[in-house]
Amino acid sequence: MRIALVCSEVIRESGHGRYMLELARRLAPRHEVHVYSHLFQPVPGVTHHPVSAHLGVNLWRLLTFWWGATRALGREPFDVVHTIGGCCARRDVVTAQFCQRPWGEELARLARDDRRARALGQPPLLPGSPLRHLYHHLYWRVADLFEAPAFRARPGKRLIAVSAGVREELVRCYGVPRDAVAVIHNGVEPAEFTAEALTPLRGPTREALGLPADAPVVLYVGDFYRKGLAVAIAAFAAAGRPEAWLLVVGRGEYDAFRALAERLGVADRVRFTGFVPDTRPYFAAADAFVFPTRYEPFGMVVTEAMAAGLPVVTTRVAGAAEVIADGEEGLLVDDPTDATGLGRALASVLADPMRAAALGRAARRKAATVSWDRIAAETEAVYTALVAARAAPRRVRSLW
């Protein structure tokens, strides 16, 4: 097959980009693969078509990449054009890695809950500037104009959801028939997170960060705003483990979240690293992983933490929770705003190293079942079925 993969960033540092990068790596030995992107990490056997896009502001990047990718693709003959959401006008297979309308609904709930929390004198759920909150509302509304047409079912097109939860969002918000959506989870590369690979990184990483060698460390990785850092800090404080540290990896308004940690009395045990291209040393340095996301179609960092053998504390909101058996391969909390409940779950892990180790071992085994090899094979099967369905009518007509 001649396949085009379209995504603005096809690099391992981006969640959407990592998905396309891993597909390209595994499809290239058997197919002619072309990648249309602005940023690209070279893959042997893959042809890259550069697409200009503005990287400064996400909203502007969305608009410029859509136009650039649509023009670059033109009428090039491909058996399959596979896109992430509505990133260009031409598409045969669309993966829903995110749905703007459900996120817009969650933003409204988040703002309402934040007002209630502030009125009660509780820690804010939305630290940071009002301008950032306004931008998030504006972005989802504009992005939905491009995304909604991409998520409509039609003959000769296939939809992939990265979790069963996303499939239900497509059904509820976009009127897509449930049986028109294939559920294929995002993957993980277990070989990158083996104990043999991570153990040598533990000591040097802790030393570089100024973390005590024997203190329990809880890790958070992700965007500060959507993925729940405010609740993670509150849960860490509620856990009541004065010997523990919280390690925060990601981007956000650092001053606002440092102020929250100060208010909760844990600022001296919270380390912010900023954005890092390779998170494996931080998984190696940690003893548990917390991810109280408010909206998360999947969450690759969850399965990466599982592959690293960490006990995971997350919410059922995360799509990756679908691969976790609660109490066996991780701990799941129903309410992503329940800092007290998340704190209790964290405390139970930190207080019982034997249980934490058992959860981590089971998590590592489960992560091996969602490898990128498996995800690529399931995606290739979607392509094959699509191409076969297109060819069938032509074969029938040729008999007459």
Per the listing, tokens 């007459």 go with 400
Backbone angles phi, psi at 55, to 5 degrees: -95, -10
What separation in angstroms does the CA of 141 have from each of 61, 62, 88, 190, 347? Answer: 15, 12, 17, 37, 39
Q: Tell me what pLDDT residue 324 has.
A: 97
Q: Which backbone phi and psi does 5 adopt, to 5 degrees?
A: -110, 125
| pLDDT at residue number 394 | 56
User: What is the model's pLDDT at position 104?
Assistant: 87
pLDDT single digits (tens) 23-76: 999 999 999 999 999 999 999 999 999 998 876 667 788 899 999 999 999 989
Residues of the chain under the 70 pLDDT cut? 55-57, 117, 119-130, 393-400
Biggest alpha carbon–alpha carbon distance for the chain? 79
pLDDT digits (tens, 9 = 90+) for 65-89: 999 999 999 989 999 999 999 999 9
Q: How far apart (Å, rounded) are the C-alpha atoms in residues 317 and 105?
A: 14
Residues in the chain: 400
> What φ, ψ does residue 85 adopt, rounded to 5°?
55, -145
Q: How far apart are CA 49 and CA 10, in angstroms?
A: 11
What is residue 281's predicted lDDT score, i.e. its pLDDT?
97
> How far is Cα 104 from Cα 127, in angstroms, rounded to an integer?
18
Distance of alpha carbon 214 from alpha carbon 87, whole angstroms: 47
CA dihedral 315, 318, 321, 327 (to 10 degrees): -10
Q: What residue type is assigned to position 207 of the chain?
A: E
User: For residues 97 and 17, what is the distance between their CA atoms, to the nearest angstrom?
Assistant: 11
So what's the pLDDT on residue 124? 65
Distant-in-sequence contacts of 56-61, Cβ < 8 A, 24+ apart: 58/139, 59/135, 59/138, 59/139, 59/142, 59/143, 61/8
